[in-house]
Amino acid sequence: MLSNFIVALSAVVPMFFLMAIGAFVKFKKWLTDEELNHMNRMVFRVFFFCLMFHSIYTTDLASTFRPRLMIFGAVGVLIIFALLMLVIPKIEPENRRRGVMVQAIFRSNFVLFGVPIVANIFGDSNIAVTTMMIAVIIPIYNILAVFALETFRGRRFLIMPIVRGVLTTPMILGAIVGGIFLLLGIHLPEPILKPIGQIAAATTPIALIILGASFKFGSVHEHFKQLAICLFGRLILVPGVLLTVAILLGFSGIDFVTLLAIFGTPCAVVSFAMAQQMGGDADLAGNCVVFTSALSCLTIFGWILFFKTLGIF
């Protein structure tokens, strides 16, 4: 039991320690909001591209390609989304909040939280399976999030601009370019590959520090009920149901922890910006990000300890 507790603790503490550093940087006012925005843009456009490229390019496809895992992850996200699009309108009368609530519950912060969870449990050299899932899950997240927000503000859903936007996202571009280089057998010399690897290794720590420095708490009294529903759905209900199904289907080891990283991590940070830009309730979206991220230190720890005790990984 003690060893399981240590595994769970070691998976969670490094992530939230990095976020705490970011919060301390914000408290000391060492970075302005504008500087944080510039750093965040750099990490998103450069660092995540390098992370995805390096992970795909250096992977062994024979040992990391998991079609069954990819199908389960994609179908799981689609089913959650479809159910939410049916249920949320029945319990929430305001359109501005409906899309935000759907997005908060179905869309996790898989990139920022998922990769470090797997790395902290299995080691940095074993994250290829997880990073390959990013190329599957993130496009689905983006398309469905736009669909939900557009649906509840009464706009037309135009698929081609969304697909174009998804394909030009740095993470997806990095995966595509890395895959092309790998499949074509293009050899990168060590003086080029090494700095790309160094940037890739620095991506998650820097991104988590920036995340910790970017949190802003808003008033919750106007949407306490909606926030509570989103917190329960994102951190308890979705992982509880999907991970139980995953166990019944025989998923274990790094595959199972990857699914835990998809379905058990907090609300995606980008959901706040999307709600702002697309007429959603930005205050509710922002609080969903902040509170799911804060409370996930307890829920992720609990899920990891529980499933480790069961011997799933």
Alpha carbon distance 284, 134 (integer Å): 26
pLDDT for the residue numbered 225: 94
| 3-state SS assignment for residue 234 | helix
267 — phi, psi (to 5°)?
Answer: -60, 140
Q: How far apart are the first and last CA of the chain?
A: 14
Instruction: Render 237-251 in DSSP notation, one character per residue.
Output: IHHHHHHHHHHHTT-
108 — phi, psi (to 5°)?
Answer: -100, 165
| 3-state SS assignment for residue 267 | strand
Block means of pLDDT (10 residues each) for the chain, 313 residues, are 77 86 91 87 87 84 84 97 96 93 94 87 84 87 87 74 75 86 90 93 87 77 92 97 97 96 91 81 89 91 94 91
The angle formed by the CA atoms of residues 211, 214 and 220, to the nearest 5 degrees, is 110
Report the candidate in 162, 123, 124 with the shortest Cα–Cα distance to residue 141. 162
pLDDT for the residue numbered 156: 67
CB 210 within 8 A of CB 43: yes
CB 13 within 8 A of CB 115: no
Q: Residues 6 or more apart from 91 whose CB is under 8 A from it?
A: 229
- List, for residues 282-293, the tens digit of each pLDDT value: 889 889 988 998
Report the candidate in 74, 58, 44 with the shortest Cα–Cα distance to residue 135. 74
pLDDT for the residue numbered 81: 97
pTM of structure: 0.85
The neighbour count for residue 301, using CB atoms within 10 Å, is 17
Report the candidate in 269, 266, 265 with the shortest Cα–Cα distance to residue 216. 269
pLDDT for the residue numbered 194: 94
**Structure-block tokens of residue 53:** 């490229």
Alpha carbon distance 111, 201 (integer Å): 14
pLDDT for the residue numbered 251: 96
pLDDT for the residue numbered 1: 67
CB 138 within 8 A of CB 145: no
pLDDT for the residue numbered 124: 77
DSSP E strands: which ranges in the chain?
none
